[in-house]
């Protein structure tokens, strides 16, 4: 199938060729992000079912709606990498690429004769992004690792709970996505280095748990300096006050009144000028010492009002506050739509679906959706023809089951 043009635009990464060899979340999310900013992303997936994400969660017209987001702006080549001829085709594509993205278990590429050393002998400028559970080195490198395991080892899962309760998921595959975003950063730095410092490619090694650990703020230094092990605190932000979720008549509202001047405005808004003027509460340390009292005051004020009423009063007082959004709230919110964060995408399965817009927003070369997510092997013939294979060679490979 010919790619469906959505928005013609060159993009900041126009001219960059990415070969994506991976599946599910971390590697493909990296490819998605690069593709949104103009890179030509060629996704290699197994003939037949293709990437398992095609069948994850809610299905419409035979394909997951998640797939429509994760694989837009990509071209699908259905290639059996278990066969020698499939590996030869992959090397042929990689030889002309700028970036290879893979999220297999360490050693998989090496088993196919595609170690970084072998690939750099073929393509010295190749940037190789490798995302795995524990990284390419270390005693755990060969253990299987998914995002949820990275979240646990990285320290996040220990904090996502009410005190004394079972640790819970964030609700999305945040470990995989954090690893993917770190991978994108690595790719961009490696491409910049290649351009400025002589054209050499390099290997980017991203471990899921390390990507999570990298955003854990003061977790380790507090343990190192004080022996303090940070514990789960529910919706509160330990050591910073007030910042919590407070009950209303029809839901919850999050209030971040932890700036010194913001706190004064917050207490004035809730009718507690005495606390606004209390010198003991003039800085964060004093407020942390009396956080339970402060939370009780705010919760007592919010409990008798609707979320909307609380939001309006705190907006007037210039106090950061927000309700807890559902998917329905996001879809109906005018700010999301004003900033282009709700896009309607026409799928190759014949229906329209709302999908997230693109982040970040660049003023000169904004990200775009140029094509909808492909079916398995939609672009096999076109990509292999670009790589120099004849129609006869392509037909022979298809007859052998190497491609689809």
The tokens 């196919």 sit on which residue? 112
Please give the Cα distance from 215 to 212 (Å, whole number): 6
Residue in the structure block whose two tokens are 């259905």: 78
Provide Rg for the chain, Cα atoms. 25
Residue 378 near residue 1 (C-beta atoms within 8 A): yes
Catalytic annotation, pick one of 40, 51, 80, 176? 176
Length of the chain in terms of residues written: 404
Residue 384 contacts residue 90 (beta carbons within 8 Å): no
Residue 44 pairs in a beta bridge with: 21, 77
Task: For 192-331, list the strands marked E by DSSP.
Answer: 203-207, 243-248, 251-256, 321-323
Taking a C-beta distance cutoff of 8 angstroms, is the pair 107, 142 a contact? Answer: yes
Cα–Cα distance for residue pair 306/299, rounded to 1 Å: 12
Is 176 considered catalytic here? yes
| Residue spans of beta strands (DSSP E) within 273-369 | 321-323, 342-346, 352-356
CA distance linking residue 77 with residue 79, whole number of Å? 6
Beta bridge partners of residue 254, listed in sequence order: 245, 322
**How far apart (Å, rounded) are the C-alpha atoms in residues 59 and 204?**
34
Q: Which residue has the tokens 């309006």?
A: 312
Distances (CA, A) of 85 to 10, 123, 139: 34, 19, 33
Name the residue among 258, 245, 230, 84 with its Cα closest to residue 156: 230
Using alpha carbons, list the distances in angstroms from residue 151 to 159, 207, 332.
10, 11, 31
Angle between helices 307-316 and 260-269 in degrees, nearest 10: 130
- Catalytically active residues are 176
């Amino acid at each position: 199938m010919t790619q469906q043009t959505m928005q013609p635009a060159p993009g900041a990464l126009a001219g960059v060729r990415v070969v994506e060899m991976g599946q599910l979340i971390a590697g493909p999310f990296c490819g998605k992000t690069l593709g949104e900013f103009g890179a030509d992303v060629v996704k290699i997936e197994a003939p037949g079912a293709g990437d398992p994400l095609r069948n994850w969660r809610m299905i419409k017209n035979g394909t997951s709606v998640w797939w429509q987001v994760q694989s837009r702006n990509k071209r699908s080549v259905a290639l059996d990498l278990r066969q020698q001829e499939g590996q030869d085709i992959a090397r042929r594509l990689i030889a002309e690429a700028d970036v290879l993205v893979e999220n297999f278990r360490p050693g998989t590429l090496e088993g196919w004769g595609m170690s970084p050393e072998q690939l750099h002998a073929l393509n010295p400028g190749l940037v190789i992004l490798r995302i795995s559970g524990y990284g390419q080195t270390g005693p755990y490198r060969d253990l299987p690792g998914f995002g949820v395991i990275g979240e646990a080892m990285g320290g996040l899962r220990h904090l996502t709970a009410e005190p004394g309760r079972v640790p819970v998921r964030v609700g999305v595959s945040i470990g995989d996505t954090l690893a993917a975003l770190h991978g994108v950063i690595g790719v961009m730095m490696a491409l910049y280095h290649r351009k400025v410092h002589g054209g050499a490619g390099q290997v980017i090694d991203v471990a899921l748990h390390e990507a999570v650990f990298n955003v854990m703020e003061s977790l380790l230094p507090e343990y190192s300096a004080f022996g303090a092990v940070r514990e789960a605190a529910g919706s509160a932000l330990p050591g910073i006050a007030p910042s919590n979720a407070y009950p209303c008549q029809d839901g919850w509202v999050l209030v971040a009144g932890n700036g010194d001047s913001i706190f004064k405005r917050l207490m004035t808004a809730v009718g507690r000028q005495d606390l606004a003027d209390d010198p003991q509460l003039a800085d964060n340390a004093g407020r942390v010492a009396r956080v339970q009292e402060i939370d009780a005051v705010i919760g007592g004020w919010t409990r008798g009002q609707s979320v909307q009423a609380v939001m309006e009063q705190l907006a007037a007082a210039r106090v950061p506050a927000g309700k807890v959004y559902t998917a329905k709230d996001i879809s109906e919110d005018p700010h999301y739509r004003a900033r282009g964060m709700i896009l309607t995408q026409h799928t190759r399965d014949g229906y329209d679906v709302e999908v997230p817009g693109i982040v970040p927003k660049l003023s000169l070369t904004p990200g775009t959706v140029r094509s909808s997510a492909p079916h398995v092997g939609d672009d096999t013939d076109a990509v292999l023809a670009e790589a120099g294979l004849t129609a006869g060679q392509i037909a022979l490979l298809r007859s052998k089951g190497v491609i689809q």
